Amino acid sequence: MKKQLCPICESGFLHSEYELTEVEHQGIKGTIKSYYSVCDGCGCEQANATDARQNKRAMIAFKKQVQGLLTGAEVRKLRKQWQLNQREAARVFGGGPVAFSKYEADDVMQSDAMDKLLRLAAEIPAVMERLKSLSGQAF
């Protein structure tokens, strides 16, 4: 990764670090890695856009785990098993063209309804075939 110049002292470079942070969701406690950047010049600590994105994804992954939803990696695995790209998967299941990229990256949580539909399609091949035909697309 390209070294990022410290925006505060403008002479040092930022290094990514993390600490373990205790989080809570629906009464369940857990620990996530919380990323931040430290300047090797002035020593200041800050969260840049990359840190913020990683931290947000870690929290969403934790919430999915607490709520018993498929993880981003599990959604990706199912989609690959169905031999669909992300856009095709969105045509079959709904959610908009970028839905699967967001589910798989843990950028957003899929709804309970979407989660159930994905599991149903995974368990019953005929459901998958029917969803494909309902989408009106040829796969």
Which residue from 9, 28, 124, 134 is in contact with Zn ion, where contact means CB under 5 A? 9
Which residue from 34, 35, 36, 39 is in contact with Zn ion, where contact means CB under 5 A? 39
Instruction: Please tell me whether residue 118 binds Zn ion under the rule CB under 5 A.
Output: no
Distances in Å between the Cα of 2 and the Cα atoms of 13, 14, 49, 51, 105 are 10, 10, 14, 14, 22
How many Å apart are CA 43 and CA 19, to the nearest integer?
Answer: 16
Q: Which is nearer to Zn ion, 39 or 84 (CB)?
A: 39
Number of Cβ within 10 Å of residue 79's Cβ equals: 21
Q: Which residue has the tokens 């998958």?
A: 128
Instruction: Please tell me whether residue 92 binds Zn ion under the rule CB under 5 A.
Output: no
- String of contacts with Zn ion for each residue 42-81, x by CB under 5 A: x---------------------------------------
